[in-house]
Every structure is written in C-alpha cells, then in structure tokens.
Amino acid sequence: MDHVFPTYARFPFEPVTATGVTITDDQGKDYLDFTSGIGVCNLGYQNAEIQAAVTDQLGKIWHISNLYENHLQEAVAELLVGKEDKLVFFANSGTEANEAALKLARKATGKTKVLSFNHSFHGRTYGSMSMTGNAHIQEGFAPLVPDISFADYNDPASLDAITPDLAAVILEVIQGEGGVIVGDPDWLRDVQAKCQATDTLFIIDEVQTGIGRTGFKFAYEGVGLDPDIVTSAKGLANGLPVGAMIGKSKLGKAFGPGTHGSTFAGNPLTMASAQAVLKQLTPEFLEQVRTKAFKIGQTLAKFEALPVVTSVSGRGLMIGIHLTDDLPVNDVITALQAKGILTLSAVGNTLRLLPPLVMSVEDLESGLTTIYDELVAHTN
Ligand SMILES: *Cc1c(COP(=O)(O)O)cnc(C)c1O
C-alpha cells in the first residue's frame, strides 16, 4: 500500500470475504478467526439478523442528522441501559466514547483531575490518549491534556491516589491492549468504594470487554460493580462504526443541548446494526458464552505447562497467553496464519485471542489445539 500513511504494520494478505467464523483471503485461503477484527465481529460474519436489519435500513434512509427524532437511537439506548436509570450518548468509536466520558466528567463535577492506570488503553484522540497508560502511544504528541495521572492497576496502594479533587477514575475491568490483565474483583470494588467516598465519578471502559465478550453484556456485571459512566464500542454494531457512552441520569443536566455532538453518530444504519446485535445478546446467549469458556478451560490450562508460556489469563472468550521473551509473539502469529488461524497480540509478548462469541466449542478446541501444537514446536 503506497498511498496510505504507514501507521499500521500490516500482514501481507487481505481478507476479502467471511462467513460465520471463517475468513477467506485474496488467495482463496481460509482462516479460523480468533480475532473478531479485534473484538468487533463478536456475532461472526454475515450474521443473518444483522444482515437483514442493515439491508432493510439501507433501503429506507442511511443518515439523518441529530437535529431530528431517531427512534432507532432510542431503541438501542433502551437495550443498552435496560431497567437502569441511565442515559446514552452515541459516538462513532471507542476513543470518542471515552472522549465524551472525559468531557462529561469534567463538566458534571466542575473538577478537572482524572486518575487512570498504567498499561491501560483508552484510545488515540487527545483526551483518550492522555488517559492511556502507555508511554509509547503518547510519544511525540506532547503537550497532552493536563491533570491526568496514573497509578498501578490491581495495586491496593493506588487507592490512596483517589482523592476528593478528582473528577473521575477510569479503568478497564480487564486491560485488553495492555496484555489481558484481569482486574482483581476485590480491588475493583475497593476502587469503586473509594470513588463513592470521595465524590469521584467511576468510569469503566468496556470498549473491548463489553457486548458479551466475557459472558456478560458488560464485564463489570460479572464483578458486581455500579459505575457512573460506561463506554462501549467495538462489538456494539458488529463492524459498523459506533460508540456509546452510558451515564447515570443525574449526569444528564451537564450534557444539555449544544454541549457535545457528532455528525454521524447514531445514524440509522449503525443503529439498525447495533439493535440487531443487542437483541441477540440474550441471557441464554451470554450463558452459552460462559459455558463455552468453561468447556475450553481445561485445554487452556494445559498451555501453562509449556516452557514458552508464563501464564494464561482472561475471562469468557477474552484470552491472553503470555509468552516468554525468547519467543516473539509476532513469530507465533505469522506461523499460525500459515496454518489457517488468525490471532492477535497485546503488550507484554501476549498472544491474545478474541474469537467470535458464536464459535462452536469444537472450533474453539480445534483452533486451540493448532495453537498449542505451534507453541510445542517452538519449545527449545
Ligand atoms: C479499542 C479500544 C479503545 C479505542 O476504540 P477505537 O474504536 O479504536 O477508538 C478504547 N478502549 C479500549 C479498552 C479498547 O480496547
């Protein structure tokens, strides 16, 4: 690719079609997908309900501005909040959802400081990048948004940094890009309690962990948390660009007419897709995800005995296989591509797996066996 900025290190093949959990490239080679387009196509490719909803909407109207009523936005918002007393702001991506959360937190509290965590990832725009705990991502872009500080994830000492002068604390329940680092449930509850005690808004970034990925609509439900603001994107419309910021209704008065907005956000096409996604995210479906995760648990545990593996982490179908430094994760990813499996990496030489949630236990087991055999081949 000669006419595109070289911001991405691309693998030298192009996926051109996909159905179910299988992707086909421009040479006609098939791959079992353990990426979901980085946690996006959670319901697989050419999901019948989503195809039908989007095709139907294509024939009606693609885009209306936010100057008008939009019943699909209302329907998606209702599916997102359920019975809770919450409101939704739609955006086009995860970074924008976090940007909205940062703006809302400052405006609603009248405070400016935000605490984030090392190894977090919240996006690439100025606000979300400034809240991202990865120096490599911020390098060369200073000055960043001021008044944002960082503490260590899962560290009880970090609770001391949650003080009444904070507008918000933002975190992921499982740090995704940062290496599939699972938040300790007790620590997460302590963070929430300290936020409540200090009048600090508690923001949970569910861009990667949400929409069924861990077997819950949002991963925080599995830990019993009650965040003030939640952000979602990636899997929300199964591949059409959409983000959402969900906040407690009491925050609504800080986001009145004209305070924030976006031209494309929440347009009928993306909302038709999001609605079809959320309708399929039933309690039965989420239970199936948890059951699948349980069933592959034994196979995953076997990985920990491999000399090239230091540990395995994750929840639901969000999995991190942590490799020793002498086996670069990209070598494994490339070798697996040759064997017809697509996988991802994360910080810390982590092999990250985000298969579509609709993948059968048989396909999950077969893919994991190929990955296991590949890691055995790299031993010694
Ligand atoms: C991917 C991701 C983002 C950024 O989402 P974009 O849609 O790429 O802007 C933010 N937070 C988390 C946790 C993510 O995984």
For the stretch 311-328, pLDDT in tens is 999 999 999 999 999 999
Scanning the chain, the segments in alpha helix (DSSP H) are 36-39, 48-58, 71-81, 94-109, 126-130, 135-138, 185-197, 219-223, 268-280, 283-295, 297-303, 329-338, 361-377
Tokens of 336: 């697996």
- Residue 380 pLDDT exceeds 70: no
Beta-bridge partner residues of 32 = 22, 341
Q: Pick from 8, 40, 177 the residue to mutate for probing ligand 1's pocket: most ligand atoms within 8 Å of its CB.
A: 177
> Which atom in ligand 1 lies closest to the alpha carbon of residue 243?
7
CA 54 → CA 282, 309, 356, distances in Å? 20, 42, 20
pLDDT at residue number 142: 97
Tens digits of residue pLDDT in 146-192:
999 999 999 999 999 999 999 999 999 999 999 999 999 999 999 99
Residue of 215, 195, 219 lying closest to 207 (CA atoms): 219
Q: For the chain, what percent of residues have pLDDT higher than 90?
A: 99
What is the Å distance from ligand 1's center to 69 Cα?
Answer: 28
Q: How far apart are CA 198 and CA 182, in angstroms?
A: 25
Q: Is the CB of 93 under 6 A from ligand 1?
A: yes
Tokens of 119: 């190894």
> Which atom in ligand 1 lies closest to the alpha carbon of residue 172?
13
Query: Going by CATH, does the domain composed of 49-282 fall within 3.40.640.10?
Result: yes
What is the Å distance from ligand 1's center to 95 Cα?
Answer: 6
In the chain, list all ranges with CATH 3.40.640.10. 49-282
> Which atom in ligand 1 lies closest to the alpha carbon of residue 206?
13
Peptide bond just before 143 cis, omega within 30 deg:
yes
Q: How far apart are CA 210 and CA 258, in angstroms?
A: 29
Q: Is the CB of 223 under 6 A from ligand 1?
A: no
218 dihedral zone (left: phi>0; alpha: psi -120 to 50; beta): beta
Tens digits of residue pLDDT in 70-128:
999 999 999 999 999 999 999 999 999 999 999 999 999 999 999 999 999 999 999 99
Q: Is the CB of 22 under 6 A from ligand 1?
A: no
Tokens of 213: 């990925």
Beta-bridge partner residues of 191 = none
- Residue 210 pLDDT exceeds 80: yes
Q: Residue 186, class by beta-carbon neighbours within 10 Å (0-12 exposed, 13-18 middle, 19+ buried)? A: exposed
Reported as a pLDDT band with limits 50, 70 and 90, residue 133 is very high
Q: Is the CB of 374 under 6 A from ligand 1?
A: no
Reported as a pLDDT band with limits 50, 70 and 90, residue 373 is very high
Residue of 376, 372, 305 lying closest to 34 (CA atoms): 372
Beta-bridge partner residues of 90 = 244
What is the Å distance from ligand 1's center to 379 Cα?
Answer: 33
Q: For the chain, what percent of residues have pLDDT higher than 70?
A: 100
pLDDT at residue number 379: 78
The letter for the amino acid at 58 is L
Arithmetic mean of pLDDT, 336-347:
98
Query: Which residue's CA is the closest to the ligand 1 atom numbered 6?
Result: 94
Q: How far apart are CA 229 and CA 241, in angstroms?
A: 20
Cβ of 266: how many Cβ atoms within 10 Å?
A: 24
Length of the chain: 380
> Which atom in ligand 1 lies closest to the alpha carbon of residue 96?
9
CATH superfamily of 15-47+284-379: Aspartate Aminotransferase, domain 1 (3.90.1150.10)
Tokens of 229: 């603001």
Q: Is the CB of 352 under 6 A from ligand 1?
A: no
What is the Å distance from ligand 1's center to 107 Cα?
Answer: 23
pLDDT at residue number 18: 98
Arithmetic mean of pLDDT, 355-364:
98
Q: Is the CB of 172 under 6 A from ligand 1?
A: yes
Backbone angles phi, psi at 284, to 5 degrees: -65, -45
